[in-house]
Structure 1
Amino acid sequence: MFSSRRLHRPLLRNPHVTVVGIAVLVSSIVLLGCQPSATPSGSEATQTYSGTYPIQAVATVGMVADLVRTIGGPQVNVQQICGSGVDPHLYKPTRDDVQLILSADVVFYCGLLLEGKMGDTLQKVSKMKPCIAVAEQIDDELLLKPTEFEGHYDPHVWNDVSAWSKCVDAVAQSLSKFDPGNKNLYEERAKAYEKTLTELHAYGKRVIATVPEKNRVLITSHDAFNYFGRAYELDVMGIQGLSTESEAGLQRINELVDLLVDRDVKAVFIESSVSRKNIDALIEGSLSRGHAVKIGGELFSDAMGQAGTYEGTYVGMLDHNITLVAGALGGDVDPKGFSGKLAGTAETEQP
Structure 2
Amino acid sequence: MKLHTLFLALSLVFLNSCKEKTNTSGAKLRVVTTTSMITDLVKQIGGDAIQLEGLMGSGVDPHLYKASEGDVSKLVDADVIFYNGLHLEGKLVEVFEKMQQRNNKTIAIGEAIDKKELIGSEYFASNYDPHIWFSVENWIEVTKFVTEKLKSIDPKNEAIFETNSAAYLLKLQALEQRLLKTIATLPVEQRILVTAHDAFSYFGKAYQFEVVGLQGLSTATEAGVQDVQNIAKFIIDKKVKAIFVESSVPKRTIEALQAAVRSKGSEVTIGGTLFSDALGNPETNEGNYIGMFEYNVNTIIDALR
Q: TM-score range by the shorter chain?
A: over 0.9
Per-residue CA deviation, residues 98-118 of structure 1 (Å, 9 max, x unaligned), is: 111001111111111101101
What code does the residue aligned with 2:134 have?
N
What code does the residue aligned with 1:55 have?
L
How many residues are matched? 304
In the other structure, the counterpart of 1:258 is 233
After superposition, residues 25-36 of structure 1 pair within 5 angstroms as: 25-29=7-11, 31-32=13-14, 35=17
Is the alpha carbon distance of 1:284 and 1:22 closer, same or farther for their aligned partners in structure 2, counting shifts above 3 Å? Answer: closer
In the other structure, the counterpart of 1:280 is 255
Per-residue CA deviation, residues 114-164 of structure 1 (Å, 9 max, x unaligned), is: 011011222233335521111222111221012333661100010111112
1:197 aligns with 2:172: yes
Shift of 1:284: 0.6
Equivalent-residue separation in structure 1 for 2:260 and 2:161 (angstroms): 51
Equivalent-residue separation in structure 2 for 1:34 and 1:325 (angstroms): 49
Give structure 1 stretches of 5+ with no counterpart: 1-18, 40-44, 331-351
In the other structure, the counterpart of 1:8 is none
Q: Contact 1:102 / 1:125 at 8 angstroms: preserved in 2?
A: no
Q: Contact 2:36 / 2:57 at 8 angstroms: preserved in 1?
A: yes
From 128, 136, 151, the equivalent of 1:176 is 151
After superposition, residues 77-226 of structure 1 pair within 5 angstroms as: 77-126=51-100, 127-128=102-103, 130-149=105-124, 152-226=127-201
CA RMSD of aligned residues (A): 1.7
Alignment TM-score, normalising by the size of structure 2: 0.94
Per-residue CA deviation, residues 314-344 of structure 1 (Å, 9 max, x unaligned), is: 11111111111111111xxxxxxxxxxxxxx
Q: Which moved more, 1:132-141 or 1:64-73?
A: 132-141
Per-residue CA deviation, residues 148-206 of structure 1 (Å, 9 max, x unaligned), is: 33661100010111112110011100000001122122122112211111121222222
Instruction: For residue 147 of structure 1, give the secondary structure of its aligned residue in structure 2.
Output: coil
Q: Contact 2:87 / 2:130 at 8 angstroms: preserved in 1?
A: yes
Overall identity of the aligned pairs, in %: 39
Equivalent-residue separation in structure 1 for 2:50 and 2:86 (angstroms): 25
Instruction: For residue 164 of structure 1, give the secondary structure of its aligned residue in structure 2.
Output: helix
Give structure 2 stretches of 5+ with no counterpart: none
In the other structure, the counterpart of 2:44 is 70
Per-residue CA deviation, residues 272-295 of structure 1 (Å, 9 max, x unaligned), is: 000111111111111112211111
Q: Contact 1:168 / 1:194 at 8 angstroms: preserved in 2?
A: yes
1:59 aligns with 2:33: yes
